[in-house]
Amino acid sequence: MPLPSVRVYGARQCKAISRRLKRRCLNPAAYKCSTCRYHGATPLHTRKSMQGESHPQYKHGRLTKESKMSDRRTRLRLWMLEQIGWHLKMFQGTKTRGRKPNEYRQLDLDDPEQMQYAILQTLV
């Protein structure tokens, strides 16, 4: 039995078809979609138009892909700076807790080329 919006208000019907009974779903299609929410509700238009402030669930811009990438680069830069400082014996006490950034690779800071690489990575 379909929901009342299909019969009463003339809403578009879900286009999904049951594998077992070979009958069409009787639920209304979701907004700007060809299927109901039970069958995926993928939009008819491209997803690129539903990004950022135009997306209905947009709250703020603090956790965008760009901000996450810049945070990741900053953490890597700070991690490398700390490793250089420990190698040059500038610090005392304990090292910073936590796991290493994903982009971090183990460097031999006694090698001048790798020390130069680490310093250049912190400047970029």
Query: Tokens 């811009």 map to which residue?
Result: 61
For 8-42, how does the pLDDT look when each residue is reduced to its tens digit (9 = 90+)? 677 888 889 988 889 998 888 888 788 888 888 87
15 touches 44 (CB < 8 A): no
pTM metric for this prediction: 0.50
Q: Which ranges in 28-91 belong to alpha helices (H)?
A: 65-87
For 62-102, how does the pLDDT look when each residue is reduced to its tens digit (9 = 90+)? 778 888 889 989 999 999 999 999 999 999 988 888 888 88
- 39 by Cβ neighbours in 10 Å (0-12 / 13-18 / 19+) ranks as middle
